[in-house]
Amino acid sequence: MPENAILATGVRKKYGTKQALDGLDLAVPAGMVYGLLGPNGAGKTTAVRILSTLVRLDGGRAEVAGIDVAARPRQVRRRIGLAGQHAALDEVLTGRQNLRMFGRLFHLGKRRAAVRADELLERFDLVEAADKGIKEYSGGMRRRLDLAASMILAPDVLFLDEPTTGLDPRGRNEVWDAVRSLVARGTTVLLTTQYLDEADQLAGRIAVLDKGRVIADGPPESLKRLIGGDRIEVVVRDPASLSATAAVVARVASAEPRVEEAAGRVHAPVSDRVAALTEVARTLQDDGVDVEDIGLRRPTLDEVFLQLTGHKTDEKAVAEKEGARA
Amino acid sequence: MTTQTRAAEEGMGARLYWAAADCWTIVLRGLTHYVRQPSNLAWQLGFPIVSVLLFGYVFGSAMSVPGGGDYREFLMPGMFGMTMAMGFMNTAYVVVYDSARGVTDRFRSMPMSPSAVVTGRGVGDLIGASLDLVVLGLTALAVGWRSSGGVLDTLAAFGLLLLLRFALIWIGVLLGLLVPNEEAAGSLFAVALPFSMISSAFVAPSLMPDWLGAVARWNPVSSTVTASRELFGNPAAVGDTWVEQHALLMSVAWPIVITAVFLPLAVRRYQRLSR
């Protein structure tokens, strides 16, 4: 296994007139979860489809597990697993039948495919549901079975394209736990997501994609530091006191405070954390403002994205995508 | 374990072995569907069986067969032909289903033989079509249909019906790759129905308006149905046009032409998925 499980340099891909990837550079060290973060249309899925040999690249070069994806796709396919945006399962079959079928198509042979199916059902906590049809599975169970199917050959590199889109919080946690246990066994994971907390939760390194190229990358912590330090955040009970609170916060803040009226929240970046916190807390108390919560927090990845791209993550597109799926 | 597998997968012989093994795995998948969802077969056969009852008994007394003969005898091979003709919708539906759910992409990201997805589909569909013919044949026997041809002729007639179904698999695969979703695949019914009905399946083309009769005569379904009627020894109402006189020849020629045109198109479309 080379040092980088995935190495892409200047990868380009055009669909019609749209430049989906515009010189993508990526170096994913072996054995970690690497998050590709970006809104719809940023090129995340195209990147995964090229790296998993589904789509040919127009230009540049990409290697997975040290093998050129364009020149030797068959060899790459023996070393990768792919779990796409849908649970790619045969819904008529049972969970066990699905895993056995995919095992045989991975050329394990009938016996080993059966043994491997049992192992994976055990590992992904699906033994009880093993002989039920997929139609009876919850969203989280489907995604877990989908992950299991992508793990049949114990791949060096696993591609997870938005693995929790459309799942409820419980299903999302189930998938996150499954991913963590895979990484503990040494698999390299390339995870795409538009859920910023998901990248924050799982990834050791994150690349932020915008318009087909990487605009920032690094550990989540350093990305957050990149856009400035901690923020002070105050939540008040009475919306009428929001503007007075904002004024107090503005005195210690290093930038204009942001006011979220619906949440009753005021927040702003601060440089001298503790002094700012004590100052604001004391002033608000003296002024008799009814404070529900006050504290310091690191910026969210939403804010990272806004800072890096100058535009917001496209919530409308996200909502449409989820609507189409429901 | 993987090094062994890798070594075993080099070479032409190994490739052919895996192409066949993977094809069989896909066929088994299709057969498992029948076991797990017997109701699918019921749906698939419901239409022709209801048609048998409607045309045989409701409209049957008003139907006439040019040249004489019992209408239900005439109808049954038409029913077999119609079922084969409409089978391409099942093919299209499964292809759409697999690509809409990412199953096709999963297959394509795996080290399996790329041809197996299509060959497995083809073999599986032919097995399914044979099942259809068995059930329909029994239904036909129950309503009094008989083949007066010899054993070989009778088998040849069923062979021609399956040959038509085989050719239409490639149209089904192509359409399945072209339509965006399962709902759109369902609307193919609007194409499949006239395709199978504007033929000699239910009514002799000579009884239709001239222009429609010409369309019906040249419909590949007509050639297969007429040829199988002749082989079954059922009334065939063969007109004197060239295409009707050469039904047996055309029932072989049409499927060859259809396959020659649509198999490459389907393969090319499949390869274009990686564009």
Measured CA to CA, the distance from residue A219 to residue A210 in angstroms comes to 18
Query: Tell me, what's the pLDDT at B275?
Result: 81
Confidence label for B8 from pLDDT (cuts 50, 70 and 90): low
Residues near A290 by beta carbon (within 8 Å), at least 6 away in sequence: A236, A237, A238, A241
Inspect the interface and report whether the beta carbons of A54 and B105 lie closer than 8 Å: yes
Q: Which of A84, A97, A106 sits opposite B102 (nearest CB)?
A: A84
Query: Tell me, what's the pLDDT at A98?
Result: 97
CA dihedral B217, B219, B225, B231 (to 10 degrees): 70
Give the number of C-alpha atoms closer than 13 A to the C-alpha of residue B223, restricted to the C-beta side: 21
User: Testing the interface with A: which of B24, B99, B105, B183 to mutate, by most A Cβ within 10 A?
Assistant: B105
Confidence check: pLDDT of A66 > 90: yes
Could you tell me which chain B residue has the CA closest to the CA of A72?
A: B111
Please give the mean pLDDT across all residues of chain B: 88
User: Testing the interface with A: which of B109, B119, B183 to mutate, by most A Cβ within 10 A?
Assistant: B109
Inspect the interface and report whether the beta carbons of B110 and A149 lie closer than 8 Å: no
Residues near B71 by beta carbon (within 8 Å), at least 6 away in sequence: B56, B60, B63, B64, B65
CATH T-level topology, domain A230-297? Alpha-Beta Plaits (3.30.70)
Inspect the interface and report whether the beta carbons of A92 and B37 lie closer than 8 Å: yes
ipTM above 0.90, yes or no: no
- B35-44, B141-150, B177-186: lowest mean pLDDT where? B35-44
Give the number of C-alpha atoms closer than 13 A to the C-alpha of residue A93, restricted to the C-beta side: 19
Inspect the interface and report whether the beta carbons of A107 and B36 lie closer than 8 Å: no
Q: Which of B9, B33, B101 sits opposite A86 (nearest CB)?
A: B101
Inspect the interface and report whether the beta carbons of A97 and B9 lie closer than 8 Å: no
Measured CA to CA, the distance from residue B114 to residue B104 in angstroms comes to 10
The residue extents of the domains of chain A are 4-225, 230-297
Q: A70 at the B interface (CB within 8 A)?
A: no
Question: Chain A partners of B18 at a C-beta cutoff of 8 Å?
Answer: 107
User: Testing the interface with B: which of A50, A92, A152 to mutate, by most B Cβ within 10 A?
Assistant: A92
Measured CA to CA, the distance from residue B265 to residue B96 in angstroms comes to 16
pLDDT, average across residues A130-148? 92
- Fill in the amino acid letter for A283: T
Inspect the interface and report whether the beta carbons of A82 and B2 lie closer than 8 Å: no
- The arrangement of secondary structure in A4-225, i.e. its CATH architecture, is 3-Layer(aba) Sandwich (3.40)
Query: What are A77-121's pLDDT values in tens digits?
Result: 999 999 988 889 999 999 999 999 999 999 999 999 999 999 999
Q: How far is CA B107 from the centre of its chain?
A: 25
Query: Tell me, what's the pLDDT at A311?
Result: 64
Query: What are A193-252's pLDDT values in tens digits?
Result: 887 778 888 999 999 898 899 988 899 888 766 666 678 889 998 888 888 899 888 888
Residues near B194 by beta carbon (within 8 Å), at least 6 away in sequence: none
Confidence check: pLDDT of B9 > 60: no
Q: A96 at the B interface (CB within 8 A)?
A: no
The residue that leads in pLDDT, A260 or A311, is: A260
For every residue of A87-140, DSSP letters joined together read ----TTSBHHHHHHHHHHHTT--HHHHHHHHHHHHHHTT-TTTTTSBGGGS-HH
User: What's the burial of A34, exposed, middle or buried (CB within 10 Å: 0-12/13-18/19+)?
Assistant: buried
Q: A114 at the B interface (CB within 8 A)?
A: no
Give the number of C-alpha atoms closer than 13 A to the C-alpha of residue B133, restricted to the C-beta side: 24
Inspect the interface and report whether the beta carbons of B103 and A77 lie closer than 8 Å: no
Give the minimum alpha-carbon distance from A52 to chain B in angstroms, rounded to a whole number. 6
Structure tokens at B5: 């597998």
pTM across the whole model:
0.82
Measured CA to CA, the distance from residue B144 to residue B134 in angstroms comes to 15
Give chain A's radius of gyration (CA, Å): 23
Query: Tell me, what's the pLDDT at A312?
Result: 60
Structure tokens at A273: 């954390």
Q: How many CB pairs under 8 A join A and B?
A: 84
Confidence label for A321 from pLDDT (cuts 50, 70 and 90): very low
Could you tell me which chain A residue has the CA closest to the CA of B117?
A: A105
Inspect the interface and report whether the beta carbons of B36 and A133 lie closer than 8 Å: yes
The residue that leads in pLDDT, B160 or B201, is: B160
Query: What are B40-80's pLDDT values in tens digits?
Result: 778 777 877 888 888 888 887 778 888 888 888 899 999 99
Question: Which of B200, B267, B265 minimizes the C-alpha distance to B239?
Answer: B200
Give the minimum alpha-carbon distance from B41 to chain A in angstroms, rounded to a whole number. 14
- A57-71, A290-304, B115-129, B183-197: lowest mean pLDDT where? A290-304
Inspect the interface and report whether the beta carbons of B106 and A78 lie closer than 8 Å: no
User: What's the burial of A301, exposed, middle or buried (CB within 10 Å: 0-12/13-18/19+)?
Assistant: buried
Could you tell me which chain B residue has the CA closest to the CA of A133?
A: B36
Measured CA to CA, the distance from residue A144 to residue A125 in angstroms comes to 9
Inspect the interface and report whether the beta carbons of B109 and A54 lie closer than 8 Å: yes
Give the minimum alpha-carbon distance from B191 to chain A in angstroms, rounded to a whole number. 27
Confidence check: pLDDT of B262 > 70: yes
Inspect the interface and report whether the beta carbons of A101 and B6 lie closer than 8 Å: no
Give the minimum alpha-carbon distance from B265 to chain A in angstroms, rounded to a whole number. 19
Q: A149 at the B interface (CB within 8 A)?
A: yes
- With a pLDDT cut of 90, the percent of chain B lying above it is 49
Measured CA to CA, the distance from residue B136 to residue B128 in angstroms comes to 12
Question: Which of A5, A38, A19, A49 minimizes the C-alpha distance to A217?
Answer: A38
Question: Chain B partners of A55 at a C-beta cutoff of 8 Å?
Answer: 274-275
- Spatial contact of B23 and B120, defined as CB atoms under 8 Å apart: yes
Could you tell me which chain A residue has the CA closest to the CA of B270?
A: A54
Query: Tell me, what's the pLDDT at B50?
Result: 86
Q: Which residues of B touch A (CB under 8 A)?
A: 1-2, 5-6, 9, 18, 21-22, 25-26, 28-29, 32-33, 36-37, 100-103, 105-112, 116, 273-275
